Homo-oligomer: A and B are copies of this chain.
Amino acid sequence: MVAPQELKPAAPGAGDPSSAAAARELAERVARPSAAERDRDHRWDPALFAELAGARPGPGLAGPLVPRALGGGGLSATQTCALLEGLGEGARDPGLALAVGVHAVLATVPLRAFGSPRQRERYLPLMASGDWIGAVSLRQTQGAALAPTVTARPGTPGLGGWVLTGDLDLVAGGPVAHHFLVVATHDGGGRTAFVLDRSTPGLLITESAPAAMRTCTWGRLVLDGCHVPDDAVLGTVGGAEAEVEPLMASLDWVFSSAPWLGVMRALVRDAVDGAAERQVFGRPLVHAQSVRFTLADLATRCELAAGLLYRAAGQFDSGGRPTRQDAATARLFVAAAARAVAEGAARLSGPAALTSDHLIARAHRDALFFAETGGGTEVLRPVIAASLLGLG
């Protein structure tokens, strides 16, 4: 059995252990017991989210990155990374952790970074308390690498504002969200980010879920000529390419990966326990050198992944601009590590462990989905290569 401290985040400036521990304990208590059953039923539990969001004093998972002045936790990126890692390890529920991360980071930080004072004051306090859930489509977290599906044209003269048309799937939090961050393309080219309230006329949310990450809540956003006012624009008109898109991409690459550090630690622990219990050829599996080597390699992957991820997260605390290369590198490595650890843990636990009651079967499924989001290798590698080569 692996003591947590043996698999601590690796990097210099690694996550504040206390916030990680607090989140782990909370999640273990309130989320883990129902994880398998929520997964089986594709069920979202609002009360559970509220409990994670509201915990006071404690992690306050809804608003770690909202400044204290606006009712948030005012945590650093590193602390937030640790919080999400603890959530993943305690809850053993990648889907729930994704939902929390999308709300607390992907939907929150762009508002904090580019929102007008009015937008910040309107949205951030209620997002921090968990009363308002913000949603984002995972199609739009790697800039416009995937073909844009939403267009914006100027509102009818006099009225002003903008008219948005199109649809977006893979909207994490969609069915329960109060508002949505959406990037739309202009006819003349150029893209603008908008924040749309659920009440916007012409905006429709339909159910549409992938087979993975079932404990998250998923929707499809249909924009049927939605008219939105000018102050729904987030950042500069036509400025998404330089503002919201690069930020959203790095946020997804880093913070959506954080829970997987915890999930991987949990998987290694399960693998260690499984290898200790299982007998093959009449010997405990854990006596086999090949098994010991596999476990050593899995633990090593966890260390390395944590190091890269905390390096990338730490750059958000440095005051300077984080580098996209390090964020993409961290995601590339963590995604591969998550798949390898899930597969290794499965190999050591045997076919009996492949039921949705075990983390292993769910993590094996969800890790594949995780590896394909954030753009997957076909986006991450060119991004890294582009900055190495000075091309792209």
Residues on A lying within 8 angstroms of B by beta carbon are 138, 145-147, 169-170, 210-212, 279-282, 285, 288, 290-291, 339, 343, 346-347, 350-352, 354-356, 361, 364-365, 368-369, 371-373, 375-379, 381-382
Residues of B close to A364: CB separation below 8 A? 364-365, 368
If A288-B378, A364-B368 are given as contacts, then 13 extra A-B residue pairs at C-beta distance below 8 Å, sorted by A number, are A145-B281, A146-B279, A169-B352, A211-B356, A285-B378, A290-B377, A290-B381, A346-B372, A347-B376, A350-B372, A351-B369, A354-B369, A365-B365
Nearest opposing residue in chain B for A275, CB measure = B378
A279 contacts which of B147, B346, B356 (Cβ < 8 Å)? B147
Across the A-B interface, give the 5 residue pairs with the lowest CB-CB distance, nearest first: A351-B372, A211-B355, A147-B279, A280-B378, A211-B354
Nearest opposing residue in chain B for A360, CB measure = B368
Residues of B close to A280: CB separation below 8 A? 145-146, 375, 378-379
Contact indicator B382/A281 (Cβ below 8 Å)? yes
Given contacts A339-B343, A355-B210, are A350 and B368 in contact (CB under 8 A)?
Answer: no
Nearest opposing residue in chain B for A349, CB measure = B372
Contact indicator B373/A138 (Cβ below 8 Å)? no
In whole Å, how far is A183's beta carbon from the nearest beta carbon of chain B? Answer: 15
Q: What copy number does this chain have within its complex?
A: 2
In whole Å, how far is A180's beta carbon from the nearest beta carbon of chain B? Answer: 19
Contact indicator A372/B354 (Cβ below 8 Å)? yes
Contact indicator A346/B361 (Cβ below 8 Å)? no
Residues of B close to A211: CB separation below 8 A? 354-356, 361
Contact indicator A378/B291 (Cβ below 8 Å)? yes
Nearest opposing residue in chain B for A147, CB measure = B279
Contact indicator B382/A368 (Cβ below 8 Å)? no
User: CA of A142 to CA of B378 in the docked complex: distance in angstroms?
Assistant: 40
In whole Å, how far is A346's beta carbon from the nearest beta carbon of chain B? Answer: 6
User: CA of A270 to CA of B382 in the docked complex: distance in angstroms?
Assistant: 24
Nearest opposing residue in chain B for A355, CB measure = B211
User: CA of A377 to CA of B275 in the docked complex: distance in angstroms?
Assistant: 14
Contact indicator B351/A138 (Cβ below 8 Å)? yes
User: CA of A375 to CA of B146 in the docked complex: distance in angstroms?
Assistant: 42
A373 contacts which of B351, B368, B377, B379 (Cβ < 8 Å)? B351
Given contacts A290-B381, A343-B339, A368-B346, are A351 and B170 in contact (CB under 8 A)?
Answer: yes
User: CA of A212 to CA of B352 in the docked complex: distance in angstroms?
Assistant: 10
User: CA of A285 to CA of B378 in the docked complex: distance in angstroms?
Assistant: 8
Could you name 15 residue pairs across A and B whose Cβ atoms are closer than 8 Å?
A: A147-B282, A210-B354, A212-B354, A212-B361, A280-B379, A290-B377, A291-B378, A346-B372, A347-B371, A347-B376, A347-B377, A350-B372, A354-B372, A364-B364, A364-B368
Residues of B close to A147: CB separation below 8 A? 279, 282
Residues of B close to A288: CB separation below 8 A? 378
Most buried by B among A210, A351, A377: A351
User: CA of A279 to CA of B144 in the docked complex: distance in angstroms?
Assistant: 11
Contact indicator B381/A368 (Cβ below 8 Å)? no
Residues of B close to A382: CB separation below 8 A? 281
Residues of B close to A291: CB separation below 8 A? 378
Residues of B close to A355: CB separation below 8 A? 210-211
Nearest opposing residue in chain B for A373, CB measure = B351
Nearest opposing residue in chain B for A280, CB measure = B378
Nearest opposing residue in chain B for A385, CB measure = B290
In whole Å, how far is A6's beta carbon from the nearest beta carbon of chain B? Answer: 24
Nearest opposing residue in chain B for A212, CB measure = B354
